[in-house]
Amino acid sequence: MKTQVAIIGAGPAGLLLGHLLRAEGIDAVVVERQSPDYVLGRIRAGVLERVTTDLMERLGLDARMHAEGIPHDGFNLADGERLIRIDITALTGRQVMVYGQTEVTRDLMDAAPARGLEVIYEAADVALHNVESDAPSISYTRGGAEHRIEARFIAGCDGFHGPSRKAIPERVARAFEKVYPFGWLGILADVPPCNHELIYANHANGFALASMRSETRSRYYIQVPLDEKIEDWPDDRLWDELAVRLGPDAAAHITRGPSIEKSIAPLRSFVFEPMRHGSLFLAGDSAHIVPPTGAKGLNLAASDVVYLSDALIGYFRRNDADGVAGYSGRALARVWKSERFSWQLTSLMHRFPENGPFERRMQVAELDYIANSDAAQTSIAENYVGLPL
């Protein structure tokens, strides 16, 4: 098979890119290792910046997002008795949209056939070939048969564990990484949220987050040590701990219910440079990971895809290769700013086992500063709502 852009990975990055290219008449095929159900079974964050909602609108795939998503004007930082509300709309004139990443993926997936975007699921052994040439290809096996897709470009949208990043030689690459000494234990339950806005809480027992998917579905997280076992957290223990960490006001409004999903995810900051090598581009989690504090993962994938689709549309429609040459630099400039914000919010709101009383006083002083400074609140708000492209 021949196409113009072979896309590896049918997560949000790969599907958004495929749709944007198809909308411009550019041929693209997406190759995904998992089944559609598996892809939709992954529960991820649920706060969309304008960059992401704008893309869904540009694609005309925003109807369900606008019907079911919840626009938020603010969020809260809790520290002991103190609750600091960050009024993002008053401070920036913008809102964020609470709508699950799973739902974004579902909307993109459902629309693919009608938009002429072919997605090949359950493709095993995906391998990249000749990425330094103008005629790269990918090979894969499916149903016992071997297949090859020849393309002008390959877009590696295959997440942190995919093969694309590894196809860039070490001699030209550099990776930056910070692994945090804890993870997030998340629970999804069909109960009303305890608060109409998100609460990020720093408690002596560790961080907690109260989030939501809808008026009737809640998503909560607590910080746990990396070696914690999910079996040690029956629902009741988790609800008890959330009530302690989120503080008495939120606790009074927590509705308990059986978990419909419960999992532990490690926290990591990671950036890989460059994001293009020859005819291979990286976008989304294949090139960078942020800790979930601030929900930047999907939104960064969306901004990568804005830059990458611009570059590819310029190349194929206007014979202009400048965007291709500039992609990595443009994307990384925004990536590093989101990395900084996610790392800073993680550092501010978590209890680090290696930290002592001095570091704790620094957290308290910073939260105090934020509580009393419009400038500090504006800085947090403009990062949370999303920096300009």
Residue 219: which of ligand APR, ligand PHB, none does it interact with, CB under 5 to 8 A by kind? ligand PHB
Q: Draw the binding track, 12-31, toward ligand APR (x: CB under 6 A; -: no contact).
A: xxx----------------x
Cα angle: 336, vertex 339, 342; to 5 degrees? 155
Total residues contacting ligand PHB by CB under 6 A comes to 10
58-88 burial, b for 16+ CB within 10 Å, e for fewer? ebebbeebeeebbebbbbbbbbeeebbbbeb
Please identify, among the stretches 10-18, 213-221, 226-234, 330-338, the one whose residues bind ligand APR according to the rule CB under 6 A.
10-18
User: Is 264 a binder of ligand PHB (CB under 6 A)?
Assistant: no
CA-based nearest residue to 237, from 217, 262, 213: 262
- Given 12, 19, 72, 136, the catalytic residue: 72
Query: If we measure between CA atoms, which residue out of 273, 33, 281 comes closest to residue 152?
Result: 281
Q: Which residues pair with 142 in a beta bridge?
A: 145
Catalytic status, residue 200: yes
Out of 22, 33, 165, 334, the only residue in the binding site for ligand APR (CB under 6 A) is 33
Relative to beta strand 137-142, strand 288-289 is unpaired
Q: Which stretch binds ligand PHB (CB under 6 A): 1-9, 245-253, 263-271, 287-295?
A: 287-295
Minimum CB distance to ligand APR smaller for 158 or for 241: 158
Question: CA–CA separation, 20 vs 51, rounded Å?
Answer: 14
User: Given the rule CB under 6 A, which of 14-22, 41-49, 51-59, 141-149 is the region that contacts ligand PHB?
Assistant: 41-49
**Binding to ligand PHB by residue 247, rule CB under 6 A?**
no
Contact status: 295 vs ligand PHB (CB under 6 A): yes
The question of whether 166 is a catalytic residue gets the answer no
The label of the residue with tokens 């579905």 reads: 217
The pattern of x and - marking residues 78 through 117 that bind ligand PHB according to CB under 6 A reads ----------------------------------------
Instruction: Tell me the CA distances in angstroms from 218 to 87, 141, 203, one per residue in order.
Output: 22, 39, 20
Is residue 296 part of the annotated active site? The answer reads: yes
183 binds ligand APR (CB under 6 A): no
What torsion, rounded to 10 degrees, do the Cα atoms 161, 167, 168, 174 define?
30
Instruction: Name 277's Cβ contacts closer than 8 Å, sequence gap at least 6.
Output: 131, 132, 167, 168, 169, 172, 173
User: How many residues bind to ligand APR according to rule CB under 6 A?
Assistant: 28
d(CA 172, CA 188): 42
Given the complex with ligand PHB, which of 219 and 330 has the nearer CB atom?
219
**Total residues belonging to the chain:** 389
Catalytic residue annotation: 72, 200, 292, 296, 384
* Residues near ligand PHB (CB under 6 A): 45-47, 198, 211, 219, 292-295
